[in-house]
Amino acid sequence: MIKVAILGSGIGKAHLDGYRRLPERFDVKFMCDLDTTRAAAATENDPKIQIVSDIAAVLSDPDIDLVDVCLPPHLHAPVVIKALEAGKNVVCEKPIGRSLAEVALMQAAIEKTGGKVFPVFQYRFGLAFSQLSALMEAGLAGKALVASAETHWNREKPYYDVAWRGTWEGESGGALLGHAIHSHDILSNILGPVAQVAAFTDTRVNDIEVEDCAAVSLRMESGALVTSSVTLGAAPDTSRLKLCFEGLTAESGSNPYAPAEGIWHFTARGATKQEDVDRVLAEVAAPYAGFAGFLDAIADALSDNGGKEVTFEDGRRSIELVTAIYTSAREGRLVQLPIGKEEALYSGWSPA
Ligand SMILES: NC(=O)c1ccc[n+]([C@@H]2O[C@H](COP(=O)([O-])OP(=O)(O)OC[C@H]3O[C@@H](n4cnc5c(N)ncnc54)[C@H](O)[C@@H]3O)[C@@H](O)[C@H]2O)c1
């Protein structure tokens, strides 16, 4: 049984719902938030969960194994490092850090303490991605040709009434760092690593500091070509993914926040036969989806049965991709990965 403290009760409430779906694996002991009324409401006044407001008190409790950081982005790195130094394993919401330099500090703390950090990318978990993995493992997909992603969501003024959002200081980035990061993680996980990036970004929807629209092109190391269209000015909210392989095309529905759970179409082409695709699809059992799937994989990893968990390296790569996209958009050039310390935005991209 893994004993958990959740820090931050906004998205932390959805994490709690995920832990509650796995009662044989996780026991949530604390919900910590400066706003204790909000924290209590998030737990539905569950008497087994202590409501506290002091992060240090939670970190010093020897009973806690896993600290789940659901705080605003500027607090991620400092709190993750403190949790590691207190001997805890850590779940950290996206974005794990505000620059590659900050991520390197987290990496150093991981190496020093031997703790584990699991960045949150829960969109990866669900039936459709298990099916796509099974098709790829069965050799039916073949070479990846192209893919496209749409993160077309809607965010209006009330969303930005939360002080940290929409600002370089508090949010550290816009739709690329906070929203499309999920679909970019999925594409990187399936088709990556990314080799080259060309991008445009702009603020066209809301009166905010950070970007809310983007057009991104990626060339993967495999040669696959990927395009990503991002806006926070769409109606209604939709996420779409389409991946064209030599042997089949995989096309998502439009479920914005759980793309793996919508209706997908897997259509054979070339030498692949549809009946073989359908046979593989029929054999895939529905896994836990979303946060429950993400957390189930962490419990496996912490009991030496890993392989499906989101790794710290996945989180680092997500920040490297954002760094490359901002570099390309600002400097108007094609950017090659990996991003080294010599790149201007390695230590941060907030305008002075
Ligand atoms: N994975 C996802 O799908 C997803 C969805 C939404 C948000 N997020 C991420 O989760 C993080 C939090 O976002 P949110 O929407 O829940 O934000 P939020 O502002 O709604 O909630 C953050 C909470 O942290 C609390 N807090 C701030 N400083 C604190 C401190 N020092 N000690 C204790 N509590 C403190 C605040 O009181 C607030 O209740 C962000 O990084 C965001 O990008 C991820």
Residues 133 and 262 in one domain: yes
pLDDT tens-digit readout, 265-311 = 999 999 999 999 999 999 999 999 999 999 999 999 999 999 999 99
For the residues 161-170, what does the mean pLDDT come to? 93
Residues 113 and 161 reside in one and the same domain = no
For the CA of 33, the nearest atom of ligand 1:
34
CA distance 185 to 192: 9
Q: 174 and 192 share a domain?
A: yes
326 touches 349 (CB < 8 A): yes
Element (H, E) at 328: helix 312-331
Structure confidence at residue 351 as a pLDDT band (50, 70, 90): confident
**Structural domain harbouring 31:** 2-122
Looking at ligand 1, which atom is closest to the CA of residue 164?
19
Distance 333 CA to ligand 1 centre (A): 34
Question: 283 and 172 in one domain?
Answer: yes
Tell me the pTM: 0.97
How many angstroms separate the most distant Cα atoms in the chain? 60
Read off the pLDDT of each residue in 69-75 and give the average, rounded to a whole number: 96
Rounded to a whole number of angstroms, the CA Rg of the chain reads: 20
Both 39 and 181 in a single domain? no
Does residue 164 form part of some domain? yes
Distance 249 CA to ligand 1 centre (A): 37
Residue 70 is assigned to a structural domain of this protein: yes
Residue at 315: amino acid letter: G
Domain boundary residue, one of 235, 269, 287? 287
CA of 245 to the centre of ligand 1 (A): 38
Phi and psi angles of residue 238, each rounded to the nearest 5 degrees, phi first = -140, 150
Per residue in 173-210, pLDDT (tens digit) is 999 999 999 999 999 999 999 999 999 999 999 999 99
Instruction: Judge if 179 and 190 occupy the same domain.
Output: yes
Q: pLDDT confidence of 262, banded at 50, 70, 90?
A: confident
Calpha distance 47→306 (Å, rounded): 32
Which positions ≥6 away from 192 have C-beta within 8 Å?
220, 221, 317
Helix (H) or strand (E) holding 56: helix 55-59
Measured in Å, residue 33 CA sits from the centre of ligand 1 at 9
Same domain, 195 and 105: no
Report d(CA 118, CA 190) in Å as an integer.
Answer: 18
Pocket of ligand 1 (CB under 6 A): 7-11, 32-35, 38, 55, 70-73, 75, 93-94, 120, 122, 162, 178
Alpha-carbon span 249 to 148, nearest angstrom: 11
Rounded to an integer, what distance in angstroms lies between the CA atom of residue 100 and that of residue 111?
16
Q: Let me know: does 118 contact 90? Beta carbons within 8 Å.
A: yes
Residue after which a domain boundary falls, among 122, 150, 174: 122
Give CA–CA dist 246/310, Å, rounded: 27
Same structural domain, 145 and 218: yes
Residue 205 and residue 153: Cα distance in Å, rounded?
A: 11
* CATH code: domain of residue 160: 3.30.360.10
DSSP 72: -
CATH number at residue 83: 3.40.50.720
Average pLDDT, the chain: 97
Does the structure show a pLDDT above 90 at 324?
yes
Residue that is last in its domain, among 230, 261, 287: 287
218 and 241 part of one domain:
yes
**Residue ranges in 146-248 assigned as alpha helix (H):** 175-178, 181-191
Q: What is the pLDDT of residues 13-51, one digit of tens each?
A: 999 999 999 999 999 999 999 999 999 999 999 999 999
Does residue 71 sit in the same domain as residue 150? no
The mean pLDDT value for 110-127 works out to: 98
Per cent of the chain over pLDDT 70 is 100
Domain co-membership, 13 together with 135: no
Residue 257 belongs to some domain of the structure: yes
| Best probe residue, ligand 1, of 7, 17, 58, 71 (max atoms within 8 Å of C-beta) | 71
68 closest CA partner among 116, 12, 143, 26:
12
Backbone torsions φ then ψ of 96, nearest 5 degrees: -65, -30
Task: Give me the residue label for tokens 């009991």.
Answer: 303
Into how many domains does the chain fold? Answer: 2
- Strand partners for 90: 67, 117
Cis peptide before 95 (omega within 30 of 0): yes
Residue 348 in any domain: the answer is no
